[in-house]
Amino acid sequence: MTTKLQPVRGTKDILPEEYRLHHYVISQARRVLAGYGFQEMVVPIFEFTEVFKRTLGDTSDIVSKEMYTFEDRGGESITLRPEATAGIARAFISNGLSQHVPCKMFTVGPQFRYERPQKGRYRQFHQVSVELLGAKEPQADVEMMALGYQLLSSLGVDDKVTLELNSLGDAESRQAYRTLLIEYFSDHKQQLSEESVIRLEKNPLRILDSKDEGDKQLVAHAPALADAYTAEAKEFFAEVKEGLERLAIPYVHNSRLVRGLDYYCHTAFEFTTTALGAQNAVLAGGRYDQLIKLMGGVETPSIGFAAGIERLVALVDASRAVALRPIALIPIGKHAEQEAQKLAYMLRQQGFVIELAYSGNVGKRMKKANKANACAALIMGEDELSSGHVVLRDMDQGQEERVAFDNVIDSLAQYR
């Protein structure tokens, strides 16, 4: 059945040309993150379902309809990770890392969500997920957003994004806000979508996230979270904003930004773009002071974000990640082929990028060298070899020179 040979809907193969850009995004992220003292780690791609269920929120879209959950052969309920924060928090507890706060960790890898696929939205996608565990001060929030902004700048996409910022307040603010929302939406219950009527009972904040047009109109006139901030929450938010201003990091306050996961408090932020259609967030996160405690660890105020690699790749200028240009070896004749294999082995050990075709006459090999975008070619004819020489051809200029075998490495220095 040929249809079975297609990748599963919402997943895709990333072929080398495209993966070069992924690699570029990841290596820039690693470089920028090192400057902030973050260390890379790996957590499993699947966890016990409870790890996500208890943390992301029963009424979140992710838990209620997007998780890849299955029973393994031992009867355990397992879920492919839809995001990395819960797994990192689990690892923080499992490995007793609370002695080592602040703990700065990041991970790179695939995430899985059963969402409706569209441009920039996949069922398997990749994130760089960055977590700062054990920092309660607003300076940490500022530093994380500065880090996100610097990462986007290093990729050359900072002028294509807007930092949208909001505060979700502390638990007390949200409790007060919940009451305000219940009052407001109960008065308009008839106009609410079916889904939002359920949300009204379980988690009215989630209504603010609704995609339903009718809901959106009601939301536009709903009370604002800011109306319910406690004095502490107000102060915390003010310090975060001042910190960003001190660093001249541009942001807009979006009082409707609530984020789709339950673990957030205080700072919530998203770097959004208008360049990717409906899927507008490229890097997003926030503060999660209660998550580790909720999972059974000691209270560890934390903040983090994740960058969507596919979305960043779509924004990055493709010319930023060019492939290394090889040096082609062009042997003529059997003996030269054997010599070329030895020379290729030696040059590769010296760090050169060498293209050596497995067969073909000079013409074919030259064609292949051009196709591989070689910057230089070493032409190895029997005559040259017998006098201990090769011909070095600059593929851009077309000039050729005879080079003694012993001088090959020096002559190739400019093509490294």
Taking the complex as a whole, the smallest distance from the CB of residue 297 to ligand HAM amounts, in Å, to 16
- Note whether 10 and 123 are within 8 A (CB): yes
Nearest CB to ligand HAM, comparing residues 127 and 173: 127
Nearest CB to ligand HAM, comparing residues 111 and 196: 111
Nearest CB to ligand HAM, comparing residues 237 and 288: 288
Other beta carbons less than 10 A from residue 30's beta carbon: 14
Nearest CB to ligand HAM, comparing residues 83 and 289: 83
Contacts with ligand HAM by CB under 6 A lie at 83-85, 113, 115, 120-122, 125, 127, 129, 131, 260, 281-286, 288, 304-306, 308, 310-311
Taking the complex as a whole, the smallest distance from the CB of residue 121 to ligand HAM amounts, in Å, to 4
Distance CA 145, CA 304 (A): 9
Buried b (16+ CB within 10 A) or exposed e, 239-267: ebbebbeeeebebeebeebbbbbbbbbbb
Taking the complex as a whole, the smallest distance from the CB of residue 323 to ligand HAM amounts, in Å, to 25
Taking the complex as a whole, the smallest distance from the CB of residue 187 to ligand HAM amounts, in Å, to 31
Taking the complex as a whole, the smallest distance from the CB of residue 3 to ligand HAM amounts, in Å, to 23
Distance CA 65, CA 62 (A): 6
Nearest CB to ligand HAM, comparing residues 131 and 384: 131
Question: CA torsion, points 155, 104, 284, 34, in degrees to nearest 10?
Answer: 0
Taking the complex as a whole, the smallest distance from the CB of residue 260 to ligand HAM amounts, in Å, to 6
Short-list 327, 307, 304, CA closest to 316: 307
Nearest CB to ligand HAM, comparing residues 86 and 332: 86
Short-list 87, 163, 161, CA closest to 131: 87
3-state SS assignment for residue 67: coil
Query: How far from the centroid of its chain's Cα atoms is residue 96's Cα?
Result: 27
Taking the complex as a whole, the smallest distance from the CB of residue 349 to ligand HAM amounts, in Å, to 40
Distance CA 387, CA 402 (A): 11
Residue nearest to ligand HAM (CB): 308
Nearest CB to ligand HAM, comparing residues 208 and 283: 283
